A and B are shown apart, each in its own frame.
Chain A
Amino acid sequence: MTTDRTTTPATGPDETRFALSCDGITKAFQGVRAVNGATFDVPEGLVTALIGPNGAGKTTVVNILSGSMTCDSGTEHIGGTDVTNWPSYRIARLGLMRTFQLSRELGGLTVLENLLVAAPDQAGESMVNVFFRPSAVRRQERENVARALDILETYGLFHLRDNRASDLSGGQKKLLEISRAVMASPKVLLLDEPMAGVNPALIERIGGYILDLKAAGVTVLMIEHNLSVVERICDHVIVLAEGQTLATGKLSDLRENEEVVQAYLGEVIDASTHG
């Protein structure tokens, strides 16, 4: 297990408070309803899984929640603030970070620079500061570099700091995306299939990192198909089917839910039984 030194100290999870809520979210693509009234709350300080069959609208929901896509109707709240259809940069500045189903690294930048981009409130992004307060810019840059190197060491990417991000392997890109999100000191982290296509050892590592983030007080919502991972690290599960919220609760309870078993779990169990 690793120790995360980059986020605020844990204050203890609170299942009665919601870091993120959506109500009646809909989204259609040329008449096809990808999301059809999804409604759920993500408890603060916990790890929540968003599961469902392929085509259930999970990634579309994450795209809408992170502002990468607008919804046709419905509302979204982050920590009580209505952020419905806000652009993603404003949602990110509220403390919601995300990763992508297919890793999207900033390929022309080095691994270290990928993290530095994510540092919030950079004085050096103002032209006035660049030319008239260069010492303040340099000082903050040194602090950000030191923190980014700490995070890279935590996530096992330190030795790759000077490599272009496009040169990394698939698993390393997954780690880079998570560490980049951590650099932004998120309050809420949306992970879109963080374990997809990675080897078992790395799945264990990523699971450990997610639990570290939870211990540091970060709320995590992750799309995941690997139910053994969900069972081990997720406190709460949301089941999505045909764009709607089918059920929410603990995975052990959902296994008893006939609708959930028919819509998703039965399919997964069959698949694991037959090969």
Chain B
Amino acid sequence: MSNIWYYVFTLVFFLFDYFILAMGLNIQYGETGILNFAYIGFVAVGSYVTGALALPSSVGTGQHYILGLGLPFPVNLILGGLASCGLAVVVALISLRRLRTDYLAMVLISLSLVLYDICNNFVPLFNGADGLYNVPEPFAGVLKLTTNSFIPFFAAVTGVIAALLWWVMSRITRSPQGRTFRAIRDDEVVAAALGKDVFRNQLKSMLIGSFYAGVGGGLIIQFSGSFNPTAWLPGETFVVFAVLIVGGVGNNVGMLVGSLVVETLLIHLPAFLPAIPGHPGLIEYFDSVLIGILLMAMLWFRPQGIVPERVRRALSLGAPANLVAGRGEAPGSAPGRPVPVEIATADAQGEK
């Protein structure tokens, strides 16, 4: 396989992987309003656990890690996702019951830093700063894949997993459960006054999002064969947030678009560009600058993102057409389409 195809399939892998990660953060933040600034920590837990479960016992490998069960793919990947869910339960019980918005965000940033320090310094856990490496490539032995053929193969596997997870997420967000998440995002007090158990629903959202984070992290270590603390600096969370903001918060299709623009085009593509003579590695440092500029531009000019959150109209919610058409319509309005909101008249001043 020529170098160009190696690059292309690597980019395709990261496109799908960040699509998965963004969907996970989107259900937490975009749909439920949980400002999870520790998201990359959940990705890391999924990655480490997936890798450590795939590796054989650490004895004689030159690495130090727990687990080491040599489990096959995708069993290890699913367990990696569930490990992130376990972390979500702990975090939710500690923080979600009593903290909201900015206070919750601060606690989660702190959690991210604590997790990072533990994994970086406590060597027996996941090999400390060196991280895990030599993680077996899935199906490489069975399918007799070479390094070159493994990359497109695993990019395709990741695409299939992303499609499956997108279908699952779409079912959730289109259901009454998704509507309850959005109600909590818009106003927790109102949602509770309407009979919604806010904590229980936030916990559900955290679990779903964390599973996606864990699976996305697990796919990274299975693709690259290694994972260490430099791959998940706490600031990486903001890259996933950038995917959300650019793509369109609250829209799963927007997550794919955001992943394409931010992760594929701005972060990974420049790494494959020829170096500037005399300044090796300079291009790679530009990604943060470009993402920052893009974020400011989006928030200023198009805060709803490239693909805005969908307006769920009566007909798409299952209202029979005969119930909607020609009934209670304001003059000049078309059935099933939003109409201009009435403007307050002189005697209605003070209403707005």
Contacts and interface: CB of A to CB of B under 8 A. Distances in A.
Interface of A: 66-68, 87-89, 92-93, 97-98, 100, 104-110, 112-113, 116-120, 122-127, 130-131, 137-138, 141-142, 145-146, 149, 152-153, 156, 158-164, 167-172, 180, 184, 197-202
Centre residue among A120, A137, A161, A162 by max chain B CB count within 10 A:
A162
A108 B314 contact: no
Interface in B183-216: 183, 185-187, 189-198, 204
6 contacts: A109-B186, A130-B175, A152-B328, A158-B327, A169-B351, A170-B352
A199 B344 CA distance: 10
Given A98-B193, A162-B311, A146 B185 contact: no
B62 interface: no
B317 A124 contact: no
Contact of B338 (A68, A118, A124, A162): A162
Contact of B194 (A156, A180, A199, A200): A180
B328 A153 contact: yes
Contact of A117 (B191, B324, B348): B191
A119 B336 CA distance: 22
Given A104-B190, A141-B317, A126 B182 contact: no
B318 interface: yes
A145 B196 contact: no
A169 B348 CA distance: 10
Interface string B334-352: 0011110111110111111
B344 A124 contact: no
B276 interface: no
Nearest to B250: A108
B317 A112 contact: yes
Contacts of A159: 328-330, 333, 339
Contacts of A201: 347
Nearest to A143: B318
Given A89-B197, A116-B179, A130 B171 contact: yes
Given A108-B182, A120-B195, A162-B314, A167 B341 contact: yes
A149 B324 contact: yes
Given A162-B336, A172-B342, 13 more contacts: A67-B193, A88-B189, A88-B193, A106-B183, A106-B191, A116-B179, A122-B176, A159-B330, A162-B338, A162-B339, A171-B344, A198-B351, A199-B349
Contacts of A124: 175-177
Contact of A184 (B195, B318, B320): B195
Contact of B319 (A68, A145, A171): A145
Contacts of A163: 338-339, 341
A164 B340 CA distance: 11
Contacts of B182: 106, 108-109, 113
Contacts of B186: 106-109
Interface string B110-136: 000000000000000000000000000
Centre residue among A67, A106, A142 by max chain B CB count within 10 A:
A106
B94 to A, nearest CB: 19
B89 interface: no
B176 A146 contact: no
A88 B337 CA distance: 35
B337 to A, nearest CB: 7
A113 B351 contact: no
A123 B344 CA distance: 39
A117 B341 contact: no
B340 to A, nearest CB: 9
Across chains A and B, which 5 residue pairs bring their CB atoms closest together, nearest first? A158-B328, A124-B176, A159-B330, A92-B195, A170-B351
A180 B42 CA distance: 37
Given A106-B186, A159-B333, A172-B341, A89 B319 contact: no
A146 B193 contact: no
B309 interface: yes
Contact of B317 (A116, A199, A202): A116
Nearest to B172: A130
A183 to B, nearest CB: 9
A108 B204 CA distance: 21
Given A116-B176, A124-B177, A149-B319, A89 B195 contact: yes
B337 A130 contact: no
B186 to A, nearest CB: 4
A199 B333 CA distance: 24
A50 B295 CA distance: 50
Nearest to B316: A162
Contact of B189 (A68, A110, A127, A149): A68
B98 interface: no
Nearest to B198: A89
Contacts of A126: 177
B348 A171 contact: yes
A52 to B, nearest CB: 23
B194 A146 contact: no
A152 B187 CA distance: 21
A111 to B, nearest CB: 9
B313 interface: yes
B193 to A, nearest CB: 5
Contacts of A87: 192, 197
A250 B125 CA distance: 73
A113 B317 contact: yes
A145 B176 CA distance: 11
A255 B331 CA distance: 46
